[in-house]
Amino acid sequence: MSVRQNKNSKLFLIGGPFTYGEVPGIQAFGYEPQRKLERRGTNTFSGDGPVAITDTFEGVTGTFEVEGTDAERAVMAYASRQALATFASYHPSNNMPVFIVAQCFDDDGVTPIGCDFIDTAKIGTLSRGVQTGNAKFPFEALNYKEVFGKEIVIEEFDGSASPVVSLATASDTNTPAVALEDKAGGTYYALAVLIQTNVGTKIVTRLLKAAAAAPGYFSEAVASGKLTITLHADDGLTTGEKALVVYAKAAAALDVTPPTVSTVTPTDGAAAVAVSTDIVWTFSEAIQDASVNGSSFILMKASDGSQVAGALSIDSTKKIVTLNPTVDLTAATPYIAVASNVKDLAGNVMAAASITNFTTA
């Protein structure tokens, strides 16, 4: 059984474009491809055993375990293609086919270890653990796809007054879509393309892949890592309609580079600086808002280290920090501007402080 039991695991159920989402409280997930191997034939000449082995794939069986009523509610809502916000109850016999996406990440919570796509599954009746009280849901499915070191993602697309026929995913050169191999040795990208006309209907249409878009079929193309799905005009998304595209893409490289100060105004060693000047630091990358504080950005007199009061601000790019002194600086006086312990968006801290000396006019 392929088991995904990890503190950084996530499980998503897809009933349709209006009824899908992450299942909270996932405790365990596992499945087992059902394969039947049979010996076939008899060696005529020597009589020394069979001549071949038949390998028959018979689908997938598995279970997942969740904790809490919110998790049970989510499973039941998505399995019956009901809106989670208004879901109250259902009967197991009303379960519809669903798709399951399981994600498992490394300790950093970003790097994917392995992801699974369970194709066309039916959720069975839950059972409860005697000791834990967790709910265990069995499922049977037609097929599966397992990827390693990549992430299986779900992207949603909305219709408009002018029918939408081009679905451009968020994959790009940094996180390119990943080609998958089919049974015949060919390649494809989209694991599923689903269309639903509105939240009130339980009818979900799954489009099939073709070389060119046709009614009921989509085509796919990848340029510079970006996967784009093209629909036929008959399947174009109008206002109120939605589509989902499920595919695999490479994870973004983990950022381990600390931020640095690219430029400071006034520059280091500057003289005759206007007493009304602001101090402006420009960073090599976006930094955290929480780093913009009076401990990380300091302006002080060189003579006695007394700190100059002022207002700190950061621009929309999160790269430029400005210190506006409350009052004009003292004339003909040396100052020191310091930036230190600043964190980028990934949490990397400056390796060394930035120290700038200047003298006012």
- The tens-digit pLDDT sequence of the chain (361 residues) is 344 555 688 999 999 999 999 999 998 899 999 988 888 776 655 556 677 888 888 999 999 999 999 999 999 999 999 989 889 888 878 889 999 999 988 877 778 888 999 999 999 988 876 666 789 999 999 999 999 999 999 999 999 999 999 999 999 988 999 999 988 889 999 999 999 987 678 899 999 999 999 999 999 999 999 999 999 999 999 999 999 999 999 987 778 899 999 999 999 999 999 999 999 999 999 999 999 999 999 999 999 999 999 999 999 999 999 999 999 999 999 999 999 999 998 899 999 999 999 999 9
In the chain, what are the domain boundaries?
1-36+57-148, 151-254, 261-360
Cα gap 119→3, rounded to integer Å: 17
Cα gap 355→351, rounded to integer Å: 13
Tell the CATH topology of 261-360: Immunoglobulin-like (2.60.40)
- Per-residue DSSP letter, 352: S
SS3 97: coil
- Write the single-letter amino acid at 60: V
Tell the CATH topology of 1-36+57-148: Pnp Oxidase; Chain A (2.30.110)
**Which two three-digit tokens encode residue 7?**
């503190």
H helix and E strand count, the chain: 1, 26
